[in-house]
Structure 1
């Protein structure tokens, strides 16, 4: 019976119960929504301080600013290359399998929900994205909880401490280190509520939309999941193979987080645990502290596949001609609109609306076709994104000579959970190489 004490098993049981309750007792299932909302709120509360501590402590191990610049350049180049491959794969799947053919949905009614999404998308411009990186105040970045703003402030503080030559044993750094330990201990307490949170979020979704959510546009959903699986196994798996790491070992490492994402359809809820696990398993602290938070805004492989496939689907469903030149132009737009924002459920939907408004080639009302299955799509998006970000950390850490492969292979997910949930300290980069 020891297996039932593992988090991913508890979450999996909660997901099964949520599906049953959502289908058999939809009214009761809808009333469970506060459980999911509360759990996600608790975890989002932890994001800003954990990112700050991880980035600041990581940058104190950076020898000079040239090293930081090299790390940032390698990271962004990797992000852009892999997300571009993801977008091309999404367009290829749409063109080969053509999931929207035959719907003939030229006349779509625009409802209030679609108008709300369009309003949010109208604010997503290149200038708005760049301006949103800089918070109004230092404290405001933490109050709003925007990952990119917190990362920006953390980089400034970490760089200032690194350039200032603050001693590793200084009271300030010891205080930040102890704060990180306490934050991970609090995270361990919160994670005990994970099964309840996953149950509430998924049950409410199924109860609200009914069983048709599982059947509506089945071809599109299955194609999206299959395309994402191909990307993870072939592209990300191939990258890991080049590093001498098996994809199965990485999946085993983050299985708890994957189960949690499966229930909540949000990648944000697992960000703190990903940072802790990757640091503990042999990845350099500076690399983890920079790459993981940055990946939540710039390395969104699942979002790229979703947007490319959705654009093709809407064009086919609304009988809108979309030639190769049009698709290349849209791909260039997606390279911008897929960046930024947070990894909450539904975030990719707003970015898709921003893309349609930018290119003005496809009817915006075509988004209404995707409302019913957005939850199923968002779950796959979040899963693909977190796997992609973990692979990115391993790649960049290997490039920077900050990856201890032997330690990674020794540490199982259960051993890392003992560190996180048991209140132990997360090893520093030097400790991971010992």
Structure 2
């Protein structure tokens, strides 16, 4: 019975029941969709205020603004290097396995969905992307829930409070800390609904597309999942080993979050809880507050692998010549188009459409080939992105000598004893006392 109290066990049960209902009673499964949508909406509701409070409380204790600049530079360099490796790995995998060869999908025609995506993608420009980070008003950023806009406001607020080293005594900061405590307590309430949310999302997905979805374009899906798993275990495994940590211990730490992502196919829903857990396991609050939200827009390892594989797959499936030199050129374009847009529904398709419209060598209608497996691909993308940003936070914390090994060791002991089921409100209060 004690095991049933663990969140990850409850989520596994919810996912299993969702698959069962979706397969046996498809119409009932589709009717469960509001349960998943409501859970995701509740968590997204919490994103902007929690990011703001976490970033501000973290940066308010940074006395040296040069430290903030160094943190930003190191983070962005790490993001770019890892996403480039992820894309390169995706291109290598798809060229070796060639999942689209022999499909001969040369007669594809446009449909309304592709036309809508193309219209959205046509508005994408580098200048427009960077200008979109600046909100019309401070309130507008929170109203839209745009992560990058909220992050910008949070950084400016945190930096303003830290100037002169008097941020610790600020009444504003104390109010933000109190608000953060309340927000994480609310988050704890919402996370109790995770099994129900995962059940509803999985039941609806399986019920809508049928069990055959699990076999449709199986070669492409298996290749993508295998490549992503290789990236996590080998590439990120090497990265974590270089900083003296284990990728398997990190995966065990965030198992609850990964199971929630598995059920909902959304990485945003675990962002607040992930930030809290990273602080609890030894990462400095300022590091967590900057790296995780910015990583959700700039460190998208799963998205990078997906786009590389999808682009080459479309070329193979439509019998379009696509040389290695052309792939290298697309890789350079992907380094820009793969960034941002994580909170936009169908964001991966929009980014892929933007890439295809920039290249012109590949048919935009090839996007239609991927619609049938969107759910399976999106789930893997979200899982890989979460793991990538978790590792990035540990790496930057180690680089900045802002990692508390004692807290890491204590958490490992808690896990071994089975006492690591987080109580967000208690953890954040203890974090405040430490500050």
Q: Is the TM value for this pair above 0.5?
A: yes
Q: TM-score range by the shorter chain?
A: over 0.9
Identify the residue that residue 431 of structure 1 maps to in structure 2. Answer: 434
**Could you report, residue by residue, the CA deviation over 1:183-219 in whole angstroms, capped at 9, with x for unpaired residues?**
0000000001101111111111111112221111000
**Could you report, residue by residue, the CA deviation over 1:254-292 in whole angstroms, capped at 9, with x for unpaired residues?**
000000000000000000001100011110110000000
Identify the residue that residue 423 of structure 2 maps to in structure 1. Answer: 419
1:120 aligns with 2:120: yes
Identify the residue that residue 274 of structure 2 maps to in structure 1. Answer: 274
Aligned length: 431
Identify the residue that residue 290 of structure 1 maps to in structure 2. Answer: 290
Q: 1:114 to 1:275 in 2, by over 3 A?
A: same
Q: Normalising by structure 2, what TM-score?
A: 0.96
Identify the residue that residue 25 of structure 2 maps to in structure 1. Answer: 25
**Could you report, residue by residue, the CA deviation over 1:295-327 in whole angstroms, capped at 9, with x for unpaired residues?**
000000000000000111000000001111100
Question: d(CA) in 2 for partners of 1:314 and 1:429?
Answer: 51
1:373 aligns with 2:377: no
Identify the residue that residue 396 of structure 2 maps to in structure 1. Answer: 396
- Alpha-carbon offset, residue 425 of structure 1: 2.5
Question: d(CA) in 1 for partners of 2:385 and 2:108?
Answer: 31
Q: Normalising by structure 1, what TM-score?
A: 0.96
Question: d(CA) in 1 for partners of 2:132 and 2:403?
Answer: 33
- Alpha-carbon offset, residue 151 of structure 1: 0.3
1:256 aligns with 2:256: yes
Identify the residue that residue 317 of structure 2 maps to in structure 1. Answer: 317
Question: d(CA) in 1 for partners of 2:432 and 2:396?
Answer: 14
Q: 1:167 to 1:55 in 2, by over 3 A?
A: closer
1:11 aligns with 2:15: no
- Map residues 7-406 of structure 1 onto 2, 5 A cutoff: 7-343=7-343, 346-406=346-406
1:101 alignment partner, SS class: coil
- Alpha-carbon offset, residue 152 of structure 1: 0.6
- Alpha-carbon offset, residue 74 of structure 1: 0.3
**Could you report, residue by residue, the CA deviation over 1:147-188 in whole angstroms, capped at 9, with x for unpaired residues?**
010001111111111115434133211111111111000000
Question: d(CA) in 1 for partners of 2:20 and 2:127?
Answer: 46
Q: 1:55 to 1:137 in 2, by over 3 A?
A: same
Note if contact 1:343-1:382 (Cα within 8 Å) is conserved in structure 2: no
- Alpha-carbon offset, residue 21 of structure 1: 1.0
- Alpha-carbon offset, residue 424 of structure 1: 4.3
Instruction: Give 5+ residue unaligned stretches, structure 1.
Output: none
Question: d(CA) in 2 for partners of 1:334 and 1:429?
Answer: 40
Question: d(CA) in 1 for partners of 2:168 and 2:94?
Answer: 53
Instruction: Give 5+ residue unaligned stretches, structure 2.
Output: none
Question: d(CA) in 1 for partners of 2:196 and 2:109?
Answer: 37
Question: d(CA) in 2 for partners of 1:39 and 1:97?
Answer: 38
